[in-house]
Structure 1
């Protein structure tokens, strides 16, 4: 059976956005995980920015990974993927011109779609790690990203943080991004269905949520009825892989079993406290 082309996978992703269903993503982080996800009949995969940072750098999600490093990992996945894969492209690795370059590289890697967020990354001196760029700057980045596409079926999804904005501000950004021509709106930090409904009333394009398993949003049919087409519940598969690797190597060395969970092991080996201390020492960044 002939494999779908990258263009066909992008068309498949657009069909998911155009459907009346809600789909949960498979967290994919290398070619093997992409093949496993497809074999298990996941409709869509996601290469998370945080996961790429862990996989490539063994570093926490502090905007340390570069576009070239991220694109290399995306290319490895795109080479074998038989399901559409969405890239969490963070802030596009810079300004509007950098965001345009990001689109070119992710499209060349063979992925089906990407999200671009309006977080102020990397964090600036004296700022909070959750600060956002202005709405106008974000619109400029999105317009540039849309212009940079060679394949018009490559989906570009604008992402914003509903957890640090008022509902009015979220709606304002969603409307502006929608007007810019993006293919969907991604939100992180939506608290519950009441919060989502207030936003969804003002959005007429497909929505994507990053919920990290929030039980207050655990109703797939209701999400679908509100226009949510893609949900990222987290990256449990990657953390399970860390735990499995640790346990296998520990047993080979005859080391006693550890009570540390997968997420605790991740924190141990990425040393986030060290990075936070550096941020406090040299950047005075607030959490």
Structure 2
């Protein structure tokens, strides 16, 4: 029932935009795969929210790893694991790479924030480690990998912290020199202005990853034309789930039955199909 999974590295090719959807469960990942996404982002925000906890290093590496590994077991596309700031110091980063690789994860993202981290959109703007410190962490992570396929995305939060595009570029070039396989440039502005300014000066040294949460009108073809290699729709599945469940539960209580909902809800046969139930039944 499980199909071999290509590495994330094999997807990142010149001229191609890799589209990635955020998830926090194997079921969410399967639905993203079914929709046609190239990969799934094991989102620390989504995983934390699924436990009704803040995205602030409250959960442990083991808990985030379990979520990512459960997704990867169920999918035929690669999982990219959001590993926050690496769960601690360089020793933690080394251990992280060993554990994620052993679980079959072929790509991780690590950000240049202090540990414990705070979610980007709740960040107060004073959370960055020095460029030199983060470069040492990246080098440690790359030295720890055993497969050449393993892919480390270096995420800079310079723009999130209110620093100029020049600082983001300076950090990104240093991270490339430390061995990163791609750069994730993040902004919480309501337009893509800062990210476009970064791309114009970057000159394609490494693939660039973007997360257009706050500038949702940036169309995929326009991203590719601007030089983006990977786009992550990081939390849309979580937000859609919240909206849908609120509507469903409210309707049941308000109306006293589920009649008005039935045409909106997936039939049970869809649940069985997602579980691949016939294949499991055939085993007996």
Q: Deviations for 1:88-123, whole angstroms, at most 9, x for unmatched residues? A: 110011011111111222222222311000012315
| Contact preservation (8 Å) 2:188, 2:214 | no
User: How many Å separate the matches in 2 of 1:167 and 1:185?
Assistant: 14
Output the TM-score relative to the length of structure 1. Answer: 0.78
Contact 1:67 1:93 in 2 (8 A): yes
Answering whether residue 17 of structure 2 is matched by residue 17 of structure 1, we say no
Shift of 1:221: 2.7
Match of 1:282 in 2: none
Match of 2:208 in 1: 207
Partners of 1:222 and 1:240 in 2: how far apart? 25
Mapped pair 1:101 → 2:95: yes
Which residue of structure 2 lines up, in the alignment, with residue 233 of structure 1?
233
CA contact (8 A) 1:120 1:129 kept: no
Q: CA deviation at 1:182?
A: 0.9
Give the TM-score normalised by structure 2. Answer: 0.78
* The one of 135, 139, 146 aligned to 2:135: 139
Q: Out of 47, 50, 65, which is 1:71 matched to? A: 65
> Structure 1 residues 34, 234: CA separation in 2 closer, same or farther (over 3 Å shift)?
closer
**What pairs up with 1:1-287 in 2 under 5 angstroms?**
3-5=3-5, 9-10=6-7, 13-55=8-50, 57-122=51-116, 128=124, 130-161=126-157, 162-163=159-160, 164-189=162-187, 191=189, 192=191, 194-200=193-199, 201-202=201-202, 203-215=204-216, 218-254=218-254
What displacement does 1:23 show?
3.0
Cα 1:214–1:194, aligned 2, differ >3 Å: closer, same or farther?
closer
Which has the higher Rg, Structure 1 or Structure 2? 2
**Structure 1 residues 123, 224: CA separation in 2 closer, same or farther (over 3 Å shift)?**
closer
Gaps of 5+ in 1: 257-287
Paired residue secondary structure (2:91): helix
